[in-house]
């Protein structure tokens, strides 16, 4: 009975993934209603919150990109908050404050290191704007990003809006090429059905816009979030999105609001990033299961399925990979899987080349290596995430980076 | 103080009551112990798994014991085929005997036909010789006969004149009526003789014709002779085919006997017919060098360590077998060995090692 149940869940998980990708494709092509009605004339005040930890010089470029936004300069500000970086990040932030005087830039620093979620909350204290845009400190804004994000809030039920996160270093190596395809598929297909029902389950923290009133409502919950007394600092984006939906608001990803991020180039960094993400996914699963009745009454079925089956898929995948390695260890090495992955790589790299030239991948065949990564991801990251709920740090930026001298900026 | 610095955030919310605090702390402690143990177990498991994979990728002496029961599907299938082969041999033997009998009959018939042909040939020759001798003689006699007949015909012409004289003598009363009748009867007799003589001449002419030319009678004989020879030729063909068939059947029987002899060396035959339990093992071709008769067999804990000798290789069967690799689960080709096990429970092990201990302990 148990194996049948396991297979059934796995099948459902796979089904929902496949169906979502297919639906994404269909909706993109045939259903204009999947796209939100945007109103560019409504230009609310905006605070761009920039929590930062050990980001070094990149934070300067990030603020620079925001300063070049084509949103009315009097209507937005930057609030950069340093979480006690051990490198020169804070100095770079101050330098940006001095250099980019065309927009108000407020720079702050926490008294002690407290994680991204609380750093966002601290930055929020200084905002009086209508819309809050929280970003990652390594994000490079597209000039239209703020305009595109705020235009979506014309629909009064929209609580949070996300942007499309593009990869700025697709051709650094195999790892970045793979991530480029994964990012593209996620934003351009996987999240489209969620957009259709205005119930995106996770808006990326790279570019996360939310009504300030709503964020103020949620701030105490975000601050008080803990796991058996240990503050939870990870996955605030997913958690905030989840809470937005639970408050009866809609969520949406506007793929026209672009920002660029450099994805990890080393396996160890990627592993840590994925571990953080997996951890937040699993936490979210437990939260969903704990409050399932409320979900059933408040959320769209598509949302509930996504919230349960996506993380459950990770757990089942772990069991499946273990079973596979025990019963048929070389099954993953067969040519069929490789052909499927290379086929997907061919299709997506073509689409990327056509629709997102900046992310064009020079060697799409590198995606074949994703088979090995899938194994690692299923086999190691899921159990490690399950067994390290008591830890919390800034993930990819937890370790001290090489000090960047505060000198002339090279763009 | 930096004017841009924000107020310090409040400390993370602490659990409300002391009881809750204790509950949280104990739950965390348990979780951490569990996580630590599990992670180490996972690490050890991964290391062991990787080691086992690497070990079996390079080891060249492992064999996978195979337990064959009497009701093993392959054994049963094998026995069924063996029975069918034997049945085929029996059927072929019956066919061979029947063919041999038929061949013998056909040989006899052929011999009688040949004899008849020979006799016919002799008779024809003899008759021809006789005709060559008697033909000219008859021709001379025929000429003589014809001359005699011509003379007789002349006499008969004179006799016809006598008949008129007899009638006139009777009318004149020179002779009695009885004498006249007797004389006329004598004349009639002479005419009848003449007719017979002519008939004999004609018959003689026919006989001469028969003896001196090829007539229909001779043709009939020749036809009979041709038919006889045709029959013999056809019989020769039939005999040749039958002999070839017989030879082929004999070869088929021999082949089946050979196949059965080889099959009797198969582990499945031995398994199905043996009166005691036999222990087999699959050896991949890569490890064939280790599979020699008399090589010691080791059974190990965890499939590789703390090995002990459990028997020797008794027989190597060269027939190819394909099984799933006991560790990698992919299909591998190899052969089967018969093990003489002093520890029969080792037949249930996932793998055993031939020749030497895999890790020297």
C-alpha distance across the termini of chain B, in Å:
70
DSSP string, B203-267: HHHHHHHHHHS--HHHHHHHHHHHHHHHHHHHHHHHHHHHHHHHHHHHHHHHHHHHHHHHHTTSH
pTM above 0.80, yes or no: no
pLDDT at residue A1 tops 60 = no
Angle at the Cα of A292 (from A290 to A293), degrees rounded to 5? 125
Q: What mean pLDDT comes out for the span A249-253?
A: 94
Task: Please state the rounded mean pLDDT for residues A298-305.
Answer: 84
**Beta strands B352-354; B296-301: pairing state:** antiparallel
Strands of the sheet with A131-135, listed across from one edge = A105-109, A76-82, A46-52, A131-135, A207-211, A158-167, A250-261, A140-141
H/E stretch holding A132: strand A131-135
Write the pLDDT tens digit of every residue in B97-140: 999 999 999 899 999 989 998 998 898 888 888 888 888 888 88
Residues A375 and A325: their CA atoms lie apart, in Å, by 10
**Four-point Cα dihedral B233, B238, B244, B246, nearest 10:** -140
Query: B329 and chain A: CB distance < 8 Å anywhere?
Result: yes
Confidence grade of residue A28 (pLDDT, cut at 50, 70, 90): low
Give B32's contacts in chain A (Cβ within 8 Å): 390
CB atoms within 10 A of CB B48: 11
The pLDDT, as a whole number, for residue B17 is 78
Q: How far is residue A221's CA from residue B77's CA, in Å, rounded to a whole number?
A: 71
pLDDT, tens digit, 9 for 90 and up, residues B259-286? 888 777 777 777 777 677 788 899 999 8
pLDDT at B6 over 70: no
Cβ-based burial of B158 (10 A; exposed 0-12, middle 13-18, buried ≥19): exposed
Contact state of A329 with B35 under an 8 Å Cβ cutoff: no
Q: Give CA angle at A133 (A127, A139), nearest 5°.
A: 125
Whether A383 sits inside 8 A of B53 (CB atoms) is: no
In whole angstroms, give the CA distance from residue A383 to residue B249.
70
* CA atoms of A373 and A358, how far apart (whole Å): 25
Give contacts of B42 with chain A, Cβ < 8 Å: 383
Residue matched to tokens 């013998």? B104
Strand partners, A211: A131
pLDDT digits (tens, 9 = 90+) for A59-109: 999 999 999 999 998 899 999 999 999 989 999 999 999 999 999 999 999
Residue A33 pLDDT: 64
Q: How far is A115 from chain B (nearest CA, A)?
A: 11
- Counted residue by residue, chain B has a size of 361
**DSSP 8-class letter at B339:** E
A199: which DSSP letter?
B
Residue A67 contacts B, CB cutoff 8 Å? no
* A105: closest chain B residue by CA: B4
Gap between the Cα atoms of B109 and B238, Å rounded: 12
Q: Do B15 and A229 touch (CB under 8 A)?
A: yes
- Note whether B3 contacts A: Cβ–Cβ < 8 A: no
Q: In the predicted model, what is the mean pLDDT of chain A?
A: 86
Phi/psi of residue A78, nearest 5 degrees: -115, 130
Tens digits of per-residue pLDDT, A306-356?
A: 888 888 888 888 888 888 887 777 777 778 888 888 898 899 999 999 989
Cβ of A390 under 8 Å from any chain B Cβ? yes
Under 8 Å between Cβ of B281 and B336: yes
Q: In chain A, which residue's Cα lies nearest the Cα of B2? A: A108
| A400 pLDDT more than 80 | no
Judged against a pLDDT cut of 70, whether residue B10 lies above it is answered with no
Domains of chain A: 1-411 (3.90.550.10)
CB nearest to A330's CB, from B8, B15, B330: B330
The minimum CA-CA distance between B352 and chain A, rounded to whole Å, is 19
pLDDT score for B23: 85
Q: What angle do CA B223, B224, B226 make, to 5 degrees?
A: 65
- The b/e string for A221-234 (b: 16+ C-beta within 10 A; e otherwise) is ebbebebbbebbbb
Cα(B64)–Cα(B299) distance, rounded to whole angstroms? 11
Owner of token pair 């955030």: B9
Averaged pLDDT of chain B = 84
Q: Which residues contact A37 (CB under 8 A, 6 or more apart)?
A: A154, A155
Backbone angles phi, psi at B65, to 5 degrees: -60, 140
A111 → closest Cβ in B8, B25, B330: B8
């Amino acid at each position: 009975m148990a194996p049948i149940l396991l297979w059934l869940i796995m099948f459902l998980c796979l089904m929902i993934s496949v169906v979502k990708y297919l639906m994404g494709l269909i909706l993109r092509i045939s259903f204009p209603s999947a796209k939100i009605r945007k109103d560019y004339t409504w230009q609310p005040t905006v605070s761009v919150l920039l929590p930062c930890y050990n980001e070094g010089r990149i934070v300067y470029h990030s603020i620079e990109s925001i300063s070049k936004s084509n949103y009315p300069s009097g209507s937005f500000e930057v609030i950069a908050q340093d979480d006690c970086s051990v490198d020169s990040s804070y100095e770079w932030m101050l330098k940006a404050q001095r250099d980019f005087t065309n927009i108000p830039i407020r720079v702050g620093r926490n008294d002690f290191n407290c994680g991204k979620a609380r750093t966002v909350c601290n930055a929020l204290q200084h905002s009086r704007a209508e819309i809050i845009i929280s970003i990652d400190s390594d994000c490079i804004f597209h000039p239209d990003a703020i305009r595109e994000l705020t235009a979506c809030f014309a629909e009064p039920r929209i609580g949070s809006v996300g942007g499309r996160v593009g990869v700025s270093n697709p051709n650094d190596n195999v790892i970045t090429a793979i991530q480029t395809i994964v990012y593209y598929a996620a934003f351009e297909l996987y999240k489209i059905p969620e957009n259709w029902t205005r119930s995106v389950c996770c808006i990326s923290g790279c570019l996360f816009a939310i009504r300030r009133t709503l964020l103020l409502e949620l701030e105490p919950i975000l601050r008080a979030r803990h796991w058996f007394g240990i503050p939870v600092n990870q996955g605030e984006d997913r958690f905030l999105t989840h809470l937005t939906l639970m408050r009866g608001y809609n969520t949406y990803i506007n793929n026209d609001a672009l920002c660029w991020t450099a994805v990890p180039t080393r396996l160890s960094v990627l592993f840590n990033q994925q571990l953080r993400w997996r951890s937040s996914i699993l936490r979210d699963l437990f939260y969903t299961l704990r409050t399932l009745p409320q979900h059933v009454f408040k959320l769209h079925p598509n949302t509930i399925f996504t919230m349960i089956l996506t993380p459950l898929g990770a757990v089942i995948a772990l069991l499946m990979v273990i079973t596979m390695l025990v019963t048929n260890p070389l099954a993953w090495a067969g040519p069929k899987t490789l052909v499927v992955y290379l086929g997907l790589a061919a299709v997506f790299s073509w689409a990327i080349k056509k629709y997102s030239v900046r992310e064009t991948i020079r060697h799409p065949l590198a995606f074949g290596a994703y088979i090995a990564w899938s194994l690692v991801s299923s086999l190691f990251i899921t159990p490690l995430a399950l067994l390290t709920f008591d830890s919390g740090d800034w993930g990819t930026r937890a370790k001290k980076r090489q000090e960047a001298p505060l000198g002339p900026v090279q763009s | 103080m930096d004017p841009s610095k924000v107020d310090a955030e409040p400390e993370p919310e602490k659990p409300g009551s002391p009881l809750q605090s204790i509950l949280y702390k104990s739950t965390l402690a348990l979780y951490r112990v569990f996580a630590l143990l599990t992670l180490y177990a996972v690490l050890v498991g991964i290391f062991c798994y990787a080691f086992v994979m690497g070990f079996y990728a390079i080891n060249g002496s492992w064999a996978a014991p195979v337990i064959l029961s009497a009701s093993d599907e392959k054994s049963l299938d094998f026995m069924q085929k063996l029975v069918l082969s034997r049945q085929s041999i029996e059927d072929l033997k019956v066919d061979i005997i029947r063919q041999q009998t038929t061949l013998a009959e056909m040989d006899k018939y052929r011999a009688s036909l040949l004899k008849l042909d020979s006799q016919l040939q002799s008779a024809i020759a003899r008759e021809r010789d006789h005709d060559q001798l008697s033909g000219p003689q008859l021709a001379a006699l025929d000429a003589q006969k014809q001359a005699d007949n011509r003379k007789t015909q002349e006499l008969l012409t004179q006799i016809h004149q006598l008949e008129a004289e007899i009638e006139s003598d009777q009318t004149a009363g020179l002779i009695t009526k009885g004498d006249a009748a007797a004389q006329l009867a004598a004349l009639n007799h002479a005419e009848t003789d003449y007719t017979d003589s002519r008939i004999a001449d004609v018959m003689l002419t026919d006989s001469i014709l028969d003896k001196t030319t090829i007539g229909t009678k001779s043709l009939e004989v020749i036809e009979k002779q041709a038919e006889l020879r045709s029959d013999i030729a056809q019989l020769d063909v039939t005999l040749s085919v039958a002999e070839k068939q017989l030879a082929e059947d004999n070869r088929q029987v021999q082949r089946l006997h050979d196949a059965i002899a080889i099959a009797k060396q198969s582990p499945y035959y031995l398994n199905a017919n043996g009166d005691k339990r036999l222990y087999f093992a699959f050896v991949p071709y890569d490890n064939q060098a280790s599979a020699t008769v008399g090589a010691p067999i080791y059974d190990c804990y965890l499939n590789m360590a703390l090995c002990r000798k459990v028997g020797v290789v008794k027989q190597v069967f060269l027939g190819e077998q394909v099984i799933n690799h006991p560790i990698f689960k992919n299909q591998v080709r190899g052969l089967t060995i018969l093990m003489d096990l002093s520890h029969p429970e080792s037949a249930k092990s996932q793998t055993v090692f031939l020749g030497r201990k895999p890790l020297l302990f």
